[in-house]
Structure 1
Amino acid sequence: MGRQAEKNAFVPLPIVRGVAPSYLWLPHGRWDGMLAFLIDQFPAVDEASWRDRMARGQVVDGAGTPLKPDSAVRPGARIWYYRELDAETPIPFEERVLFQDEHLVVVDKPHFVPMTPSGRFLRETLLVRLKDKLALPDLTPIHRLDRETAGVVVFSANQRSRGAYQSLFQKRSVKKVYEALAAPLALDYPYLHRSRMVDADQFFLMKEEQGEPNSETIVEMIEMRGELALYRLHPHTGRKHQLRVHMASLGAPIVNDAFYPVALPCKGDDFTRPLQLLARSIAFPDPLTGAQRSFSSERILIQTR
């Protein structure tokens, strides 16, 4: 429902409780006023909701002038508005700030919390929570973790230094270490798994296929925990769902993985079976000072099945 505001452009609406306004470029077409256009553009939002937002001055043009239901739809112009959700289930897990300075915020993310607003998640996302709690309107994630994955994630708090830190990830100068609980495997450790990963036929999923490898993970076993093994995983590439796909391919899908090896029906808001995958640590040379930075999660994986 629109895109996040561009950081370097004038934004006529403020951030409210961590939620930044979205914007939309008006297309060519024929509509009997702005209300008719919005109803047509966003069929999931009813007329009463748009009228209420307009009455509150929360739909504006590029200059910040509130738009009315009968305002003209001018092709090429940009309008701003807030994304709203009628009902959003609270996620009962809190993030922990591990480190903060003028450039970076390093956070220990809990399971189930999405990184950024999308779909049915808005305020219950890590980015919005942090913007609200820390009063940092320019906060931006430098890398991502799946909603199901917990652990260390790094945010940029300063536009001027953001590119320097982003380049570390682009150059693969960042060392990430994960931990996972899964069935024991009879492998010679450390074990190197390399494969070619591509988009699966099913939306959002990945799969392996024959061909030149484009993903690589080193697998180590730390210890046995009952009938399960605790693994240390070193991804040398950053493909979507890489660790989950690789462990499933080896015959030891990560405990409580609802996607691999078989996508299960959506669990909705069931918080009782977290994916047992943790971004344990992250380390990199600071591009501004040259000092080695290293941050570790304080969380522990616990068998829940």
Structure 2
Amino acid sequence: MSASQSFSSPLPTRDGIAPSYIWIPEGQWPTLIAFLVSHFPVVAEAIWLSRMEKKEVVDQAGNVLNERSVVKRGMCIFYYREIEHETPIPFEARVLHQDEHIIVVDKPHFLPVTPGGRFLRETLLVRLKKQTGLAHLTPIHRLDRETAGVMLFSHQPLSRGAYQSLFQQRVVRKIYHAVAPSLSHLVFPLVHRSRMEEGARFLVMQESAGAPNSETHIELIKDYGRLSLYRLSPLTGKKHQLRLHMASLGAPILNDGFYPNVLPCKGDDFSAPLQLLAKSISFIDPITGEMRQFRSEQELAVPDFGSCSNIV
């Protein structure tokens, strides 16, 4: 895991990448290298030895560790995570606003927000840290890798909680645009409520019986025939909420690889982005009391009909 901004790290942020750390759990290991190899089976021993040779594996006090170092429960080990052959993502985010507390960006499709899995340098957070030099940047809310649009970051630890509480209290208005099959048998606007839970398959959500814990307001912007452009306003913020709700209505968002069915991984194919865009976000600023609204400069495109421009 990466070191959080509230957790003091003896290693500095490097090229936008915060050091990762791990606490030694209960157990018996003769040396540090024995622990690391057993705990990270997909990381070759030679990689750890290389990191140690560069003096990039340290304890919480900043002491440089080597393969023979003794480890015990409660120790915290810091290191820099690396990914070999990380695929470049050929799309750039655009900064829409920056002040002494927050940065608002327009995220492209395919770019993950934070490091994880096979993405490290090719993430919005690392790129922004490298671009701005702001080591305390932290995303205030979530946005899927496949989704484009408005994303808020805090770079001031003292005011971060005030902005995070806006999302916790559900006083932030978020509007999304989506291209999906037309639903001519339904009357808009409509509200879709359901109970969402983790599905049997990894990363996939499902609807189940029980009291609703998710709600989305859906409006029809324009019917193009086979496809339509929709305005989606989530009242709650469940993972994949908009994607699951649209699929449940019989209108899965165009190019969705998870709903209604999980499709084979497209890897680094950037030819068919998910047609879901976080179009705008608005809230009363907890510091200034001003009404803030930020809008994505991107537009979705309905196949055969051109771009959906100048639509609020």
Give yes or no for TM over 0.5: yes
Q: Answer with 218-227 or 233-242: which moved more.
A: 218-227
2:274 is equivalent to residue 269 of structure 1: no
Match of 2:277 in 1: 278
Match of 2:163 in 1: 165
Deviations 1:184-224 (A, max 9, x none): 11221111111111111111111112222111111111113
CA distance in 2, matches of 1:271, 1:135: 29
CA distance in 1, matches of 2:33, 2:81: 16
* Cα distance change of structure 1 residues 210 and 10 upon mapping to structure 2, 3 Å threshold: closer
Deviation at 1:37, TM superposition (A): 1.8
CA distance in 1, matches of 2:125, 2:303: 27
RMSD value, Cα: 1.3
Q: Answer yes or no: is the 8 Å Cα contact 1:91–1:113 preserved in 2.
A: yes
Determine which of 40, 43, 46 is the counterpart of 2:41: 43
Q: Answer yes or no: is the 8 Å Cα contact 2:179–2:228 preserved in 1.
A: yes
CA distance in 2, matches of 1:286, 1:93: 30
Q: % of aligned pairs identical?
A: 60
Deviation at 1:118, TM superposition (A): 0.8
Match of 1:221 in 2: 220
Which of structure 1's runs of 4+ aligned residues deviate more than 6 A?
none
The AA in structure 1 aligned to 2:208 is: E
Determine which of 11, 16, 25 is the counterpart of 1:13: 11
CA distance in 2, matches of 1:303, 1:138: 39
Deviations 1:224-279 (A, max 9, x none): 34631111111111111111111111111100000001111111111101000000
Determine which of 68, 71, 81 is the counterpart of 1:70: 68
Match of 1:207 in 2: 206
Q: Answer yes or no: is the 8 Å Cα contact 1:106–1:154 preserved in 2.
A: yes
Deviation at 1:304, TM superposition (A): 5.6
Q: Answer with 210-219 or 264-273: which moved more.
A: 210-219
Match of 2:179 in 1: 181
Q: Answer yes or no: is the 8 Å Cα contact 2:113–2:144 preserved in 1.
A: yes
Deviation at 1:28, TM superposition (A): 3.7
Q: Answer yes or no: is the 8 Å Cα contact 1:88–1:121 preserved in 2.
A: yes
Query: Under a length normalisation based on structure 2, what TM-score does the superposition of the two structures give?
Result: 0.94
Match of 1:245 in 2: 244
CA distance in 1, matches of 2:263, 2:175: 27
CA distance in 1, matches of 2:42, 2:108: 30
Query: Under a length normalisation based on structure 1, what TM-score does the superposition of the two structures give?
Result: 0.96
Match of 1:60 in 2: 58
CA distance in 2, matches of 1:117, 1:244: 23
Q: Answer yes or no: is the 8 Å Cα contact 1:4–1:23 preserved in 2.
A: yes
Deviations 1:118-170 (A, max 9, x none): 11111111111111111111000000101110000101110000011111111
Q: Answer with 114-123 or 22-31: which moved more.
A: 22-31
The AA in structure 2 aligned to 1:223 is: K
Deviations 1:34-61 (A, max 9, x none): 1222111111111111111001011011
Q: How many residues were matched structurally?
A: 303
Gaps of 5+ in 2: 305-312
Gaps of 5+ in 1: none
Q: Answer yes or no: is the 8 Å Cα contact 2:182–2:225 preserved in 1.
A: no
CA distance in 2, matches of 1:249, 1:66: 54
Partner SS state of residue 4, structure 1: coil
The AA in structure 1 aligned to 2:146 is: E
Match of 2:310 in 1: none
Match of 2:308 in 1: none
Q: Answer yes or no: is the 8 Å Cα contact 1:273–1:304 preserved in 2.
A: no
Match of 1:111 in 2: 109
Deviation at 1:67, TM superposition (A): 0.6
The AA in structure 2 aligned to 1:132 is: K
